Structure 1
Amino acid sequence: MSSLDLHPEHTALVAIDLQQGILARQLGPHSAADVLANSVRLANTVRAKGGLVVWVRVDLAGILSLPADASTAPPKGSPPPPASASELSPELGRQGADVVVTKRQWGAFYGTDLEQHLRRNGIRSLIMSGIATNFGVESTARGAFDRAYELVFAEDAMTSLSAEAHAFVIANIFPRMGRVRSTAEVVKALQEA
């Protein structure tokens, strides 16, 4: 396993969908509280070392909904989710220099200004966290990989709708795109940089 050679001033935390309507769901293998706490720990460390913090939220009322055999969209005719479901958790401790990106699909690059924020801040490495591992996190990571960003996946700062779905991506997809580490390992690498 290679060491994490991070340059904090060129690193961003990209935290996916840590918002009230998603944090309230049944998740696994890590609880919403653990993912939230680990993401906040990462954000505080990235900020302290001169990096960028990006909070990505999905507009649940405006999310792309196409015909699918196993759609994740609410059933047709059901009331739209309340606006509060799309609001980032207040426990994130957002700071003035943090960036908030709103997406309307799984990935955070298409149709948003995420890449513009990253390029303008000289970002080359992304630390990924959030919910769900195999939806928003994976889709955003694939977009980042295609754009040649170096990726670090904080395994215990992300979770999914099932432990099995999370484990598959962690074992089979993310190691081919970047480096999978614990929050503690990522924090240590940033602090030692």
Structure 2
Amino acid sequence: MAKSALLVMDVQQDIVGRFDGDPAYLPRLRGAVDAARAAGTPVIHVVVGFRAGHPEVSPRNKAFGRIAGAVAEGAARGFAPGDPGAAIHPDVAPLDGEIVVTKKRVSAFAGSDLDMVLRAQGVDSLVLAGIATSGVVLSTLRQAADLDFRLTVLEDGCLDGDPEVHRVLTGKVFPGQAEVVRIEEWAAGLSPSA
């Protein structure tokens, strides 16, 4: 029998703050989290995080190299220990006992123990949500597909700074490897846990 997990990815304070164009996003996502918990579907939170001093970040990495540079200039803490911006947004914060996986790059699998955690829990199906559609969701979907997970993307559980990019990915690209549904439809198909 298939066992699913909901991945809530990169919904961290500083990241949410960059994508404030949809005030209904967090309440929708909270609805997905609540539905998963009520059905007994594991909720796994994925965050980006680095050690103090960012030794994992190469200056050749265009995206993460900028973060390390800003930290070096004192302009940011850059998702390192003690950075309040690295905290999971309180609207979807993990409950005691929920797994939090820390990644080092864009994909939820990159530099993390996510695959090991999923395999140990017997999870073979993933439901993806997070910020941004063109970042963590796209990268994680591609890698998870290559690892033979069954995939569902919560179209309105993902957010991107470019609505057209979001539309193309969820409407044209993702359906080649995943079922793409809205949160309400996905939640309606869940069975409550006994």
For the 8 Å contact 1:150–1:178, the answer to whether it is kept is yes
Deviations 1:145-165 (A, max 9, x none): 111111111111111121122
Aligned-pair CA distance for 1:66:
4.6
Q: Give the TM-score taking structure 2 as reference length.
A: 0.83
**TM-score by structure 1 length?**
0.83
Q: Among 14, 17, 23, which residue is 1:21 paired with?
A: 14
**In the superposition, relative to structure 1, how do residues 65 and 162 fare at CA in structure 2: closer, same or farther (>3 Å)?**
farther
Matched, 1:59 2:49: yes
* Structure 2 residue runs without a partner (length 5+): 78-82
Q: Percent of counterpart pairs with the same letter?
A: 29
Does the 8 Å CA contact 1:57/1:88 hold for their aligned counterparts?
Answer: yes
Q: For 1:123 and 1:44, how far apart are their aligned partners in 2?
A: 19
RMSD value, Cα: 2.4
SS where residue 94 of structure 1 aligns?
coil
Change (3 A) 1:11 1:136: same
Task: State the match for 1:99 in structure 2.
Answer: 99
Separation (CA, whole Å) in 2 of partners of 1:52 and 1:177: 22
Distance in 2 (alpha carbons) for counterparts of 1:19 and 1:13? 16
> SS state of the match for residue 97, structure 2?
coil
C-alpha spacing 1:166/1:66, structure 2 compared with 1 (3 Å): farther
- Equivalent position of 1:176 in the other structure: 176
3-state SS of paired residue (2:27)? helix
Inter-partner Cα distance in structure 1 for 2:59 and 2:139: 16
SS in 1 for 2:19: coil
Closer/same/farther in 2, CA of residues 103 and 141 from structure 1, 3 Å limit: same
- Match for residue 49 of structure 1? 39
1:56 Cα shift?
Answer: 0.6
How many Å separate the matches in 2 of 1:132 and 1:161? 7
Q: CA deviation at 1:110?
A: 2.2
- Contact 2:128–2:154 (8 Å) recurs in 1: yes
Q: Are residue 34 (structure 1) and residue 27 (structure 2) matched? A: no
How many Å apart are 1:41 and its aligned residue?
1.5
Q: Which residue of 2 aligns with 1:188?
A: 188
Q: Distance in 2 between matches of 1:173 and 1:132?
A: 15
In 2, Cα distance between equivalents of 1:191 and 1:93: 23
| Partner Cα distance (2:156, 2:115) in 1 | 25
Q: Secondary structure at the match of 1:191?
A: coil
Q: Any residues of structure 2 matched to 1:44-193 within 5 Å, and which?
A: 44-59=34-49, 62=54, 64-67=57-60, 71=63, 73-74=66-67, 76=69, 78-79=73-74, 81-82=76-77, 83-191=83-191
| Counterpart code for 1:160 | D
The farther-off stretch of 112-121 and 38-47 is 38-47
The answer for unaligned runs of 5 or more in structure 1 is 1-6
Q: Distance in 1 between matches of 2:40 and 2:106?
A: 28
